[in-house]
Chain A
Amino acid sequence: MSEYILELKGITKIFPGVKALDKVHFQLKKGEVHALMGENGAGKSTFIKIITGVHQAEEGEMFFNGEKTHFKTPRDARKMGIAAIYQHVTCYPDLTVTENIFLGHEEVSPKIKRILWKKMHKKAGTLLKEIGADFTEKTLMGSLSVAQQQIVEIAKALSMDAKLIIMDEPTAALTKRECEELYNIIDDLKEKDVSIIFISHKFEDMYRVASRVTVFRDSQYIGNWNVDEISSDDLIVSMVGRQIDQYFPKKKSKIGEEVLSVKGLSKTGLFKDVSFNLKRGEIIGITGLVGAGRTEVCQTLFGIMKKDEGTVSIDGKEVRIRCPKDSMNQGIGYLPEDRQKEGLVMEWDIGRNITLSNMDTYSTNGWINESVERSISGEFSNKVHIKAQTIYDLVSSLSGGNQQKVIVAKLLALNPNIIIMDEPTKGVDVGAKSAIYQIMEELVEKGCSIIMISSEMLEVLGMSDRIYVMRDGRISGMLNRNEATQENILELAMLNKSADVQEL
């Protein structure tokens, strides 16, 4: 018997117009955690879909447990014990955890196919206990956090006796502490001889859980290494195919007078008494755990939500912001966190997406001036280096990184002075990441000011002049660039120093 549980050789997959995979190889040992890395669009997702039987490869062979196999449908793969957990958990929020775990393979009585609830609940309960979940099997899925939902997905995989679990960016939406819990679960799984393919853009994930790493680039296999043999710099080079000299291009920027001042901003149940200020040419980072109220504060500032109390002043004058249009008129631009839901019209082309928030500029008395619109959207597409053939390419056909660039172009077209960026590099590959940092740097050089919400520690430390940390809807502290470290940020984000009971 082969030492590999899964082996793929020379896999080629062609989609209409593109070669998504070009003769790639992959080998996974039993009980191994194997990281799969590469830029967005490198072919990782397609590769996973071939393993799980969603797509069929045009060429190549797959061996599972040493036997040559060929999955025609996801069902075939599931029967063999292959389970996949995707970045966006596909769950049924109005069903219980048990129902979610056993959906599609319920325990039924042999003859009349009655559902055996007691048996299912019991089995679900044991599974949850085994992987150390802090909720019960009868909880409603919708009331769980993203991290907890992921644990349910893992339980679901185990309930099907999965020998191989594929995790596609499981930590993208998780906080530091939740990641740590996930790592522990993965360690446990490893001991149970479950093999794991782990896809992530975060190096810390990879170094923490994986023992081997395989890199894809531009639909091709680049190489595989033992994790302890390769440095993150070398990995980046192998992923992007070039040296990224300055990952964080942050220079000492000229910081001017105060442009924005927020005082005592409150919204019942979400955040309380939030005050901060922003100076010209400055990048401030707002960080904290997911759910600390960072996004809510910024959406209130942008006019998506209404504040209960507090004042917002721009250039020293108090302003009233009741809707996004008001704040855009004040020169505020917002880059939303969820690009597919809040940022883009996915079925539209690149050009129309870029101009949507600024149509008044491309029109006279409400009539669209199409040639101006075309040339401006072309100009901004090239400014942020979107990889596409024409501005008529549909946004849904672009990779995640390029979609993010479209939103950045849309933001730049507004020509804002104050820019709020909510997780600007979430789910974005290394190349696009550094491009976005570069653009941020150019913006502050021009005199713009940026508020950056981010959970990624390196990004916060690397890009911000000052860092505000939030915890439970309040600002728990502010750190200057030179005094900020991962440790003191985490301390502010997680520890409740003052013991007083906080009411929201």
Chain B
Amino acid sequence: MEKPKVLTHKEFSSVRYFLQWEWILLIIFILVNIMNASFSDNYLKFDGLMRASMIFLDKGFIVFPMALVIIMGDIDISVSSTVALSSVVMATVYNAGVPMGLAILICLGVGALCGLINGILVVKFKELAAVIITLSTMTLYRGIAYIILKNQSAGGFPKWFSELSWGFAWKIPYILIVFVFFAAIFTLVLHKTNFGRYVFAIGNNDIATRFSGINVDHIKIIVFTLVGVMASICAIFLSAKMMSTRPNVASGYELDVIAMVVLGGISTAGGKGKMIGVITAVFLLGFLQYGLGLINVQSQIIIIITGLLLILAVAIPNIQEMIKNFNKKREVNL
């Protein structure tokens, strides 16, 4: 008897394809833009859109590595403090006479160090959840920033520095170009490399991943360090936008960042999600908040609307599951 072979290709199912969360995100994204366009006649002009994106993209940098962390089944809530600490250190060393270029490198270094410490703690103390560890480093990093600057602001950055956040290359903001660059890199790393595959594997079953000869601790440390580095890049653009910094800068960023990741379809249980969804979610939330700002909606209301969207993001996958099961049942009965 010839045994049936296991095939290496599967049939394309349009239902399955278009039921993906990313399509739903895209529809919501378009709806948000239609809404915004009805608020302001100037909204849909190219320059307007570009300027709108400059307002929220600084947080967007942290969203990429945060997606990796959440896919691994961990979380990092210390990011806003890392932003504050690295920007405060940058401003302080610059005011002490260090050239701006070097100060930026030091900023990146501080961010990487903060992330590395988080990673090592998470790996060494396995019995502690990442949320607890990063909760403590969150207060730790913020506290150091306060000690350095004593609740004052520091700035006086050179003029060219503000160009980073406010400058254009052929009508496209620099910040958007950098964002697209990182978006491409993180998408490829997550979906096309071994490293990305291991991140998914860890999120699904870290023990089996270890038994497969993969150094789980190593990968976790790298991902947490990436969060730190990207937080310091956020710090650079944020300081450039305001041309100064304070120890209480960026507070609440971690919630926005995590909201963008979750809305982007990354499962909070770990192991599932796509980078394209996360990128869409960054623009969706950013434009939504910008548009509501256009018609002077109170910031508290904006938070409520963001919360409702998140509930939708959590609920929709379950509804999709129900639709899939319903379709399967129908196939059987036919």
Contacts and interface: CB of A to CB of B under 8 A. Distances in A.
B83 interface: no
B136 to A, nearest CB: 26
A342 B210 CA distance: 8
Given A16-B332, A325-B214, A341 B194 contact: no
A347 B271 contact: yes
Contact of B332 (A17, A350, A388): A17
A336 B211 contact: yes
Interface stretch (A231-239, A378-386, A478-486, A495-503): A378-386
B197 A345 contact: no
A368 B215 contact: no
Interface string B107-122: 0000000000000000
A369 to B, nearest CB: 10
Contact of A357 (B5, B204, B214, B215): B214
Interface in A341-389: 341-348, 350-352, 356-357, 359-360, 363, 366-368, 374-375, 377-378, 381-382, 385-389
A359 to B, nearest CB: 4
Nearest to B271: A347
Nearest to A342: B211
A226 to B, nearest CB: 32
Interface residues of B, number: 34
Interface string B193-220: 1110110110011011111111100000
Given A16-B332, A359-B194, A324 B212 contact: yes
B27 interface: no
A341 B205 CA distance: 7
A325 B210 CA distance: 9
Nearest to A355: B197
B205 A359 contact: no
B8 interface: yes
A17 B331 contact: yes
Interface in B157-210: 192-195, 197-198, 200-201, 204-205, 207-210
Given A16-B325, A16-B332, A324-B210, A344 B7 contact: no
B124 interface: no
Given A16-B332, A391-B8, A325 B215 contact: yes
B126 interface: no
B45 interface: no
Given A17-B332, A390-B8, A342 B208 contact: yes
Interface in A122-169: none
A325 B6 CA distance: 29
Contact of A390 (B6, B195, B205): B6
A395 to B, nearest CB: 10
Contacts of A388: 6
A71 interface: no
A341 B10 contact: no
Interface in A311-327: 323-325
A392 B6 CA distance: 9
Nearest to A328: B213
A47 interface: no
A336 B272 CA distance: 25
B208 A385 contact: no
A230 interface: no
A347 B204 contact: yes
Contacts of A346: 204-205
Contacts of B332: 14, 16-17
B208 A368 contact: no
Contacts of B208: 336, 341-345, 356
Nearest to A370: B192
Interface in B1-57: 3-10
A390 to B, nearest CB: 4
A275 to B, nearest CB: 25
Contacts of A357: 211-214
A392 B13 CA distance: 13
Interface in B280-334: 325, 328-329, 331-332
A334 interface: yes
A391 B4 CA distance: 13
A379 to B, nearest CB: 9
A304 interface: yes
Q: By CB atoms of chain A within 10 A, which of B3, B7, B205, B208 has the most?
A: B208
Contact of A352 (B7, B197, B331): B197
A323 B192 contact: no
A422 B79 CA distance: 43
A496 to B, nearest CB: 33
Given A344-B205, A347-B271, A363-B194, A375 B215 contact: no
Contacts of A14: 332
Interface string A467-480: 00000000000000
A438 B315 CA distance: 48
A344 B200 CA distance: 13
A217 to B, nearest CB: 16
Q: By CB atoms of chain A within 10 A, which of B6, B198, B204 has the most?
A: B6
A382 B6 contact: yes
What 3 pairs across the A-B complex have the smallest Cβ distances? A16-B328, A357-B212, A378-B8
15 contacts: A16-B331, A325-B213, A341-B207, A344-B208, A346-B204, A348-B200, A356-B212, A359-B197, A363-B194, A368-B193, A381-B6, A386-B6, A389-B6, A391-B6, A410-B212
Given A17-B332, A334-B211, 9 more contacts: A16-B325, A324-B214, A344-B208, A348-B204, A356-B197, A356-B212, A356-B214, A359-B197, A390-B10
